[in-house]
Amino acid sequence: MMERPIVCSHVYPPIPIRDFDWCAHFDDVGADCSPHGWGRTEAEAKQDLLDNYGDDE
């Protein structure tokens, strides 16, 4: 099975909670169509995306 490319963005919203600083989405379908993962770090956002949507193909 081939790994899907993942793109991460540092969003850093102006809120006191840091749980949503990073966003990850699958690059093969684009940001508008892809589900998103969120986290305090880039690694957490990627893991959230894979945990919740990694097997959806």
Q: Is the pLDDT of residue 28 over 70?
A: yes
Q: What is the mean pLDDT of the chain?
A: 91
Distance CA 32, CA 15 (A): 23
Count: domains in the chain: 1
Contact call for residues 22 and 42 (beta carbons, < 8 A): yes
In a domain, 34, yes or no: yes
Give residue 31's domain range: 6-53
Res 56: pLDDT: 59
Distance CA 50, CA 44 (A): 10
> pTM for the whole thing?
0.85
In a domain, 1, yes or no: no
Average pLDDT value for residue range 14-31: 94
